[in-house]
Amino acid sequence: MQAAQQSLLKAGALQDAIFNSANFSCIATDAQGVIQIFNVGAERMLGYQAADVVDKITPAGISDAQEVVARAAALSLELDTPITPGFAALVFKASRGIEDIYELTYIRKDGSRFPAIVSVTALRDAQDKVIGYLLIGTDNTARKQVEEEQARLNQRLRDQQQALQETNIALEHAKAVAEKANLAKSEFLSSMSHELRTPLNAVLGFAQLMESETPAPTPAQKLSIEQILQAGWYLLRLINEILDLAMIESGKVTMSQESMSLTDVLQDCQAMIEPQAHKRRIRMTFPAFENLFYVHADRTRVKQVMINLLSNAIKYNRDGGTVVVECRMGGDNRVRVSVTDTGAGLAPEQLAQLFQPFNRLGQETSGEEGTGIGLVVTKQLVELMGGVIGFDSSVGTGSVFWVELPASSAPELVFGSGAAADAQSPAAPHAVAPQRTLLYVEDNPANMALVEQLIARRSDLKLLTAIDAHLGIELARTYQPDVILMDINLPGISGYGALRILREDPATAHIPVMALSANAVPRDIANGLEAGFFRYLTKPIKVSEFMDALDVALHFAAENGLPGAPESGAFR
């Protein structure tokens, strides 16, 4: 009995502690909605004293004063919803036994509002009759603030995602526009190259013919021819440099990097550059070629880089000066090759502008030709091969330019078929060879006349000509020429179309076909070789290179001239 009384007392104490907690507003009404209990938590939250509201609210006929008390009871479902209907709705739900938890707005005595979570429960007697209602509420301000902040963050995240999506769309559009522009630029450059090279081919080709005429030209004529050749080759170099720079900037340059002998490239460069140095009595010193250096790079591009540096060292040197080429191992497993000259040197402000395109650093008024593009192309080519370029210069002393490329071991020898090796070897001298036939397919009369005059100087060759591919194919089938020289941009069937027809015909499939075209960007050359041309020569014609390539093709034809023997692609 005593234990039961203690339990009841303990339970009552707990109930009192909960009901009188300052953290919960507890409001109890009778069945008619008149407030009977208004605890300390309700007083703290709402600013009213219990004496102000207990026994002072009735469910009907609420006066203005009583409505204030109703607001104090915090029975509004929405901020803008009248209090009385909200309270009536709650009582209606509770009277039907619908108990729930609501998010309501409490209104303090001073009129300020705050969010609250309110549990509404119907109070019943032993006969299950509703005798009142209990509303227990807690301040929901902190949670609402967190939810509002979360909502703001979510909205900001949505805004950022939308902005990112719009940015991505804009980037994709910009990328598509840039790719379209690059394609148009490449096509324009290819077209421009072709249109410029075609007339240059006639200018330089006939000038070379005049230079080597018999009897020799007079001194005055020789001087005029030299001026024509000098200006023509300079214009060709300008075209090539602009194309190189444009191709690099558009990311269209292809590299064929492999282990290669830097020593061999320097030997080739020495043979090419020394005549230029001798004209100005410049002494050139190259490293001892018994010391072999190998790098991982593109052989053609390395030669282009070295020729550019050597040409500058001669061009901007003093008469009777020196150029010293050195080669040694550098840091980070690199090979460094340096070119030192005894020219006028560059001031610090000139060095700061060294790699700007079309900036000749004050040399515009000098007698030396130049475009201000060569060093820019050189720097970008070196970097594309994984190398670095540097320089040092002093006014009145000279300059040194150096390039470092990744070092490599000697390449392994790969032994191919005898026919492939023979195809790289020049033919025997023309004098002892029987007369052979060359078919030239070309629609430009000036180009045709130039090749006619070149072939007229060779007693071992006779020339057939055709002004379009249709006639060229018929002549090839009828006369079985030893070699075919083919222009690319022909009326009707292009040079590529003619090549396919010749390859598919057993009667002509064995004939090596060389392209001779003003389409001279690297992509054009690569496409031509991939299509199956035996060689791809570019205009303007360099007479010595043209004759050498012709000899290689004739030698190949002599070794492999069985009709129908080679398969498509055999000359790649």
Give the domain-ending residue among 139, 174, 194: 139
pLDDT tens by residue, 433-491: 468 999 999 988 888 888 888 888 888 888 999 988 999 999 999 889 999 999 998 88
- Strand 100-107 vs strand 334-341: parallel, antiparallel, or unpaired? unpaired
Domain annotation covers residue 413: no
Residue 338 has what pLDDT? 93
The encoded tokens of residue 282 equal 């410049």
Residue 357 has what pLDDT? 62
Domain annotation covers residue 102: yes
Instruction: Please state the separation of Cα 110 from the chain's center in Å.
Output: 67
At 128, the amino acid letter reads D
Domain annotation covers residue 499: yes
CB atoms within 10 A of CB 397: 13
pLDDT tens by residue, 388-436: 998 888 888 889 999 999 998 876 544 443 333 343 444 444 444 468 9
Cα gap 520→193, rounded to integer Å: 7
The three state secondary structure string of 114-145 is EEEEEEEEEEECCCCCEEEEEEEEEECHHHHH
Q: Give residue 393's domain range.
A: 258-406
DSSP 5-63: HHHHHHHHHHHHHHHT-TTSEEEEEETT--EEEE-HHHHHHH---HHHHTT---SSS--
* 3-state percent helix, strand, coil for the chain, nearest multiple of 5: 50, 20, 35
Q: Which of 318-322, 347-351, 364-368 has the highest mean pLDDT?
A: 318-322
* Distance separating the N- and C-terminal Cα atoms of the chain: 113
Residue with tokens 């150029």: 323
Q: Of 131, 240, 269, 122, which Cα lies nearest the Cα of 521?
A: 240
DSSP 558-572: HHH--TT-SPTTTT-
Are 160 and 230 found together in one domain? yes
Residue 568 has what pLDDT? 36
pLDDT top residue among 271 and 65: 271
Are 498 and 455 found together in one domain? yes
Give the domain-ending residue among 249, 273, 298: 249
Are 236 and 110 found together in one domain? no
Coil vs helix vs strand at 395: coil
Which CATH number do you get for residue 45? 3.30.450.20
CB atoms within 10 A of CB 427: 20
Mean pLDDT of all residues in 363-387: 73
Mean pLDDT of all residues in 338-342: 93
Mean pLDDT of all residues in 21-25: 81
Domain annotation covers residue 412: no
Quote the longest CA-to-CA distance of the chain: 147
Are 116 and 236 found together in one domain? no
**What 8-state DSSP symbol labels residue 213?**
-
Cα gap 523→254, rounded to integer Å: 8
Coil vs helix vs strand at 312: helix
Domain annotation covers residue 568: no
Cα gap 62→75, rounded to integer Å: 14
Which CATH number do you get for residue 210? 1.10.287.130
Domain annotation covers residue 565: no
Residue 85 has what pLDDT? 36
The encoded tokens of residue 387 equal 């190398």
**What's the chain's average pLDDT?**
77
Are 174 and 132 found together in one domain? no
Which CATH number do you get for residue 555? 3.40.50.2300
E strand residue ranges, 41-142: 100-107, 113-124, 130-139
Residue 1 has what pLDDT? 47
Q: Strand order of the sheet with strand 35-38? A: 35-38, 25-30, 130-139, 113-124, 100-107
Are 383 and 478 found together in one domain? no
Phi, psi dihedral angles at 409 (to 5 degrees): -90, 170
Asked if 435 and 461 count as a contact pair (C-beta separation under 8 A), the reply is: yes
State how many domains the chain has: 4
Are 183 and 226 found together in one domain? yes
- Strand 398-406 vs strand 334-341: parallel, antiparallel, or unpaired? antiparallel
Residue 86 has what pLDDT? 40
Cα gap 550→453, rounded to integer Å: 15
- Strand 294-297 vs strand 258-261: parallel, antiparallel, or unpaired? antiparallel
Residue with tokens 């939250």: 45
Which CATH number do you get for residue 375? 3.30.565.10
Cα gap 301→265, rounded to integer Å: 10
* pLDDT tier at 220, thresholds 50, 70, 90: confident
Are 122 and 153 found together in one domain? no
Are 391 and 508 found together in one domain? no
pLDDT of 89 over the 70 cut: no
- Of the chain, the percentage scoring pLDDT greater than 90 comes to 18
Are 8 and 77 found together in one domain? yes
pLDDT tens by residue, 501-547: 999 999 999 999 999 988 877 778 889 999 999 999 988 888 888 99
Instruction: Please state the separation of Cα 150 from the chain's center in Å.
Output: 40
Coil vs helix vs strand at 177: helix
Are 285 and 381 found together in one domain? yes
Conformational region of residue 218, where left means phi above 0, alpha means psi within -120 to 50, and beta covers everything else:
beta
Give the domain-ending residue among 139, 165, 198: 139
Residue with tokens 């001798």: 278
Mean pLDDT of all residues in 85-101: 49
- Strand 388-394 vs strand 294-297: parallel, antiparallel, or unpaired? unpaired
Asked if 533 and 499 count as a contact pair (C-beta separation under 8 A), the reply is: yes
Domain annotation covers residue 23: yes
Domain annotation covers residue 357: yes
Instruction: Please state the separation of Cα 492 from the chain's center in Å.
Output: 37
Are 156 and 126 found together in one domain? no
Q: Is the pTM of this model over 0.85?
A: no
pLDDT of 172 over the 50 cut: yes
* pLDDT tier at 188, thresholds 50, 70, 90: confident
The number of residues in the chain equals 572
